[in-house]
């Protein structure tokens, strides 16, 4: 007897993939157990620290050795699974990995993960007049497998494919050039003159780490003046736009003699398994039946502009989540400047409720129209297209909309308040804010238990 339950593929066993699998498993009446594809041998995604990234053929993690979270654990955690309360608010990355491993075992997710399995291709197949199902081709130790699913949840993150801007003359620069993705610890940069391009969280944190070992550190960026006083050997400069053999030249014409350039310029979206399929993958046989895949390209063409360093966005996504043309395909966690674990908690539930028929989506034509309109409004704003999925302070309204629309419990309002308080502390003094501890009192209130800012 054929099961009426839906079969869902989850691609990636990082935080978003684990959360998606957990919510699928909580709905056994409507869903078969998920199949989670994970290309590495363990859960955790970007939280799995790699000691020697240069030795790895495909470095996935961007963790560096001494990284601590830039958000308090009280904000970071999944609403249905808490961090150990006795820990400080800002914790080492190893504690986050441990938390994800415990989450995996708490909700019995591990038996459903295919480790060391790389997804090669994902494509839709039209069954009957209207129903679209999905084919996933995966490879484990050289063996290729084709499986059929009713829906796909892409949970591969977006912190593994570095974005490196074009710098005129950079090939002539004789110093070391790397992206923060490959940075691990400061000691190897002892006595160097270092320029970091980008003043986001990574740029600021790494510049502070390097200051204790480097001869000089220059934080090169286009943003507003920083509100804090950096260490004595850390200075600020406009963006680097060109290079000579031993110096870097800024937008205002100033020259910086340097022997190291570190790009802290963010990441690109990277979904190679969704690119147009190579010849030979169409017309596969499943259970002896010949099938023809739809002629498609999810990440290119009129409706899905190609992902490249100049764009770095994923239209057409309805509500930054569901593919407007193929609403049984979703992307969990593509939004930027957000708290990722609670976001995944809301996005996964919203998507699964649409699959269950408990939350109705607009027709594909309307979702596509809204996505195009959002893209056009963003273009007209003058902001770079790579900021299309940035939410920032809008994330809390977005999460509430998902919850209210689909009918599940919204996040506690205190999370937004605590997030904003942390941002203010971090902007005021990134040297000391991690010494603060917070305590959540109820769904609306929190208190600051240690005010290290006053000590600075």
Q: If DSSP codes are grouped into helix, strand and coil, which group holds residue 248? A: strand
> Is the same domain home to 28 and 92?
yes
- On whether residue 2 sits in a domain, the answer given is no
Q: If DSSP codes are grouped into helix, strand and coil, which group holds residue 21? A: helix
- On whether residue 421 sits in a domain, the answer given is yes
pLDDT in tens, the chain (456 residues): 457 899 999 999 999 999 999 999 999 999 999 999 999 999 999 999 988 776 444 567 889 999 999 999 999 999 999 999 999 999 999 999 999 999 999 999 999 999 999 999 999 998 877 889 999 999 999 899 999 999 999 999 888 889 899 999 999 999 999 999 999 999 999 999 999 999 888 999 999 999 999 999 999 998 777 778 899 999 999 999 999 999 999 999 999 999 999 999 998 888 889 866 543 344 444 444 445 555 555 554 444 444 443 346 676 899 999 999 999 999 999 999 999 999 999 999 999 999 999 999 999 999 999 998 988 898 899 888 888 899 999 999 999 999 999 999 999 999 999 999 999 999 899 999 999 999 999 999 999 987 555 544
Cα distance between residue 415 and residue 443, in whole Å = 8
**Which CATH number fits the domain that encloses residue 207?**
3.50.50.60
> Is the same domain home to 34 and 13?
yes
Q: With contact defined as beta carbons under 8 Å apart, do 238 and 256 qualify?
A: no
Domain count within the chain? 3
> Is the same domain home to 58 and 108?
yes
> Is the same domain home to 135 and 196?
no
At residue 339's C-alpha, the angle toward residues 24 and 343, to 5°, is 30
Q: Look at residues 235, 263, 291 and tell me which one is the last residue of a structural domain.
A: 263
Q: Look at residues 263, 295, 324 and tell me which one is the last residue of a structural domain.
A: 263
Total residue length of the chain: 456
> Is the same domain home to 295 and 239?
no
State the pTM of this model: 0.92
Tell me the Cα Rg of the chain.
Answer: 23
- On whether residue 178 sits in a domain, the answer given is yes
> Is the same domain home to 418 and 341?
no
Q: With contact defined as beta carbons under 8 Å apart, do 448 and 438 qualify?
A: yes
Q: Look at residues 263, 286, 305 and tell me which one is the last residue of a structural domain.
A: 263
Domain carrying residue 189: 170-263
Beta strands in 94-215 (DSSP E): 113-114, 117-127, 131-140, 143-149, 151-154, 176-179, 193-197
> Is the same domain home to 227 and 281?
no
Token output for 19: 């959360």
- On whether residue 99 sits in a domain, the answer given is yes
- On whether residue 1 sits in a domain, the answer given is no
Token output for 212: 């204790």
Cα distance between residue 319 and residue 274, in whole Å = 20
Q: If DSSP codes are grouped into helix, strand and coil, which group holds residue 159? A: coil
> Is the same domain home to 217 and 115?
no
> Is the same domain home to 283 and 365?
yes
315 conformational bin, left if phi > 0, alpha if psi -120 to 50, beta if neither:
beta
């Amino acid at each position: 007897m054929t099961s009426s339950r839906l079969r869902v593929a989850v691609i990636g066993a990082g935080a978003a993939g684990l959360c998606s699998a957990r919510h699928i498993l909580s709905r056994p009446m409507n869903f078969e157990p998920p199949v989670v594809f994970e290309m590495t041998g363990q859960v955790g995604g970007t939280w799995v620290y790699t000691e020697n990234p240069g030795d790895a053929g495909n470095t996935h993690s961007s963790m560096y050795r001494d990284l601590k979270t830039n958000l308090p654990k009280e904000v970071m955690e999944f609403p249905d699974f808490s961090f150990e309360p006795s820990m400080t608010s800002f914790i080492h990355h190893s504690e986050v990995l441990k938390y994800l491993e415990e989450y995996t075992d708490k909700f019995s997710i591990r038996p459903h993960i295919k480790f060391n399995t790389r997804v090669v291709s994902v494509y839709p197949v039209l069954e009957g007049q209207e129903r679209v199902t999905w084919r996933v081709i995966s490879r484990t130790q050289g063996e290729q497998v084709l499986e059929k699913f009713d829906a796909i949840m892409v949970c591969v993150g977006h912190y593994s494919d570095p974005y490196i801007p074009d710098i005129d003359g950079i090939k002539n620069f004789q110093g070391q050039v790397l992206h923060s993705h490959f940075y691990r610890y400061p000691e190897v940069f002892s006595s160097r003159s270092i320029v970091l391009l980008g003043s986001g969280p990574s740029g600021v944190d790494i510049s502070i780490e390097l200051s204790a070992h480097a001869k000089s550190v220059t934080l090169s960026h286009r943003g507003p003046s920083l509100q804090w006083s950096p260490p004595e050997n850390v200075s600020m400069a406009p963006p680097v736009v060109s290079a000579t053999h031993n110096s870097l030249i800024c937008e205002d014409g100033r020259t910086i003699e340097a022997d190291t350039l570190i790009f802290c310029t963010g990441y690109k979206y990277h979904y190679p398994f969704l690119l147009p399929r190579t010849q030979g993958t169409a017309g596969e046989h499943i259970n002896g039946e010949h099938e023809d895949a739809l002629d498609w390209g999810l990440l290119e063409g009129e409706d899905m502009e190609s992902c490249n360093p100049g764009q770095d966005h994923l239209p057409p996504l309805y509500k930054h989540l569901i593919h407007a043309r193929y609403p049984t395909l979703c992307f969990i966690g593509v939004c930027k400047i957000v708290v990722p674990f609670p976001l995944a908690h809301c996005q996964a539930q919203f998507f699964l409720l649409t699959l269950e028929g408990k939350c109705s989506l607009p027709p594909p034509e309307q979702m596509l129209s809204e996505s195009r309109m959002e893209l056009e409004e963003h273009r007209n704003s003058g902001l770079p297209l790579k900021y299309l999925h940035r939410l920032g302070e809008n994330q809390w309204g977005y999460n509430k909309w998902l919850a209210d629309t689909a009918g599940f419990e919204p996040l506690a309002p205190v999370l937004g308040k605590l997030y904003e308080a942390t941002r203010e502390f971090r902007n005021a003094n990134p040297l000391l804010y991690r010494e603060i501890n917070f305590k959540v009192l109820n769904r609306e209130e929190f208190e600051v238990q240690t005010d290290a800012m006053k000590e600075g």
